[in-house]
Amino acid sequence: MSALSPEIEPYDHGLLDTGDGNLIYWEACGNPAGRPALVLHGGPGSGCSTTARRYFDPDAYRIILFDQRNCGRSLPSAADPQTDLSLNTTWHLVADIERLRACLGIDTWLLFGNSWGSTLALAYAETHRDRVAAIVLSGVTTTRRSEIDWLYRGMAPLFPEEWHRFRQAIPPGTQGRDEDMVAAYHRLLNDPDPETRLKAARDWHDWEAASILLADPQGLPRRWTDSAYLLTRARIITHYFSNGAWLEDAQLLKNATRLTGIPGILLQGRFDIEAPLVTAWELARAWPQSELSILPHAAHSTANPDMSAAIVAATDRFRDI
């Protein structure tokens, strides 16, 4: 039996005008008078999902989700090569979260972030700690240089065939082909030729699929059949990772003392290849009010029954904070 709450639909939604040409899609689910909770999706650029609404008791929580800049239902879309991503950075997203909080009249809220969403949750909480009541993170990342390098070079020995295809998909002579895969794919994803961009997006996701299929035997996300989704997500990810997410290296871990007083639960699969356990362990040591829970049979996927049950149990603990 699933630990997730029943499927629900939003009772409200809208587009938040950031004032710089971006419109951010948001939605609210659950109890309008409940404890506010904000869902921060992964990627970056994956967009929010209907499943994420179900990690919270809808009678207890006012559940807020939004599509981060240029993905999902937010406008303009990164799938359009004319969309300028220069105004899409970690710090733009932090400002968007704070703007959304004020727009919705929320004083403090619980943050839930998975994968990249955990990086964004930490960046926001370390900047606006007085607005954060509690934090639940899964698949913990801080987007350090070493974490990016692990994803696009360090994992190669675990998936040699897939890595070979990932490298060979870059045309010979392309700058970065033998050193910086993120930068090389970033160039291809911004190429003037639409077929070059689409092939790069598919090749990028084929590499990521190797670890996802290992973590989630249910298969790849259905959204991955959508070419526009692949282009959006790959273009945003390479934009962020080629710029180190606009974070000083290890910034979020170094500044973890700013989280003092905020209770947190860190949920980490023992077999998470995409976000190895060491990051969650280091964060737990730097953040005294956090509690690290290691799930022995889980990996990176939140679809894992143990992981989804742990997320629901964690949000249940914070219902009355």
For residue 268, the 8-state DSSP code is E
In the set 118, 272, 290, 308, the catalytic residue is 272
In sequence order, the 6+-apart residues with CB closer than 8 A to the CB of 88 are 22, 69, 70, 78, 236, 239
In the set 186, 300, 301, 308, the catalytic residue is 300
Q: What is the pLDDT of residues 205-249, one digit of tens each?
A: 999 888 765 545 566 567 768 899 999 999 999 999 999 999 999
pLDDT band per the 50, 70, 90 thresholds, residue 177: low
pLDDT for the residue numbered 174: 63
For residue 5, the 8-state DSSP code is P
Give me 275's structure tokens: 């976000």
- State yes or no: is 272 an active-site residue: yes
- State yes or no: is 191 an active-site residue: no
Q: What is the pLDDT of residues 55-110, one digit of tens each?
A: 999 999 999 999 999 999 999 999 999 999 999 999 999 999 999 999 999 999 99
In the set 115, 118, 138, 301, the catalytic residue is 115
Would residue 68 be called left, alpha or beta, if left means φ above 0 and alpha means ψ between -120 and 50 degrees? Answer: beta
- State yes or no: is 17 an active-site residue: no
